[in-house]
């Protein structure tokens, strides 16, 4: 059964502006260490950051909380499976929230073009 569904769309230029203005401080606020390493290894880091930003927003919307007091940026980590498929690892408050909602798994799909990144998250019991 589906317990929650979230979607988000991010303009890559918005992330580029945040990177130009805040640099490492912005990245360290929203990305976990492995996410940061992955994004920095890409030829177009802003697209990868935008994808993860959208994914975290989509997950927070699926929970119905948004990013804030109940669920923070680093409670949600986007990882790549061996197949290349994106997946979600929850940490701290994210794990607690999933358990409290009776959830078992968070499914994630990410896409991006030159100008936009989008993500859809589904919480399953």
Task: List the catalytic residues.
Answer: 61, 112
Core vs surface per residue 53-86: b (16+ CB within 10 A) or e: bbbbbbbbbbbebebeebbbbbbbbbeeeeeeeb
Residue for token pair 């569904």: 5
Beta strands in the chain (DSSP E): 2-11, 76-80, 86-90, 105-112, 116-124
């Amino acid at each position: 059964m589906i317990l929650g569904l979230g979607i988000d769309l991010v303009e890559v230029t918005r992330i580029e502006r945040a990177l130009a203005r805040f640099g490492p401080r912005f990245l360290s606020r929203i990305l976990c260490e492995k996410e940061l390493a992955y994004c920095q290894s890409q030829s177009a880091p802003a697209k990868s950051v935008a994808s993860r930003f959208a994914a975290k927003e989509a997950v927070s919307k699926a929970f119905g909380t948004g990013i804030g007091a109940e669920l923070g940026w680093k409670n949600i980590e986007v990882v790549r499976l061996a197949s290349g498929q994106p997946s979600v690892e929850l940490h701290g408050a994210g794990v607690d929230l999933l358990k409290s909602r009776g959830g078992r798994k968070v499914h994630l799909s990410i896409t991006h073009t030159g100008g936009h990144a989008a993500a859809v998250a589904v919480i399953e019991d």
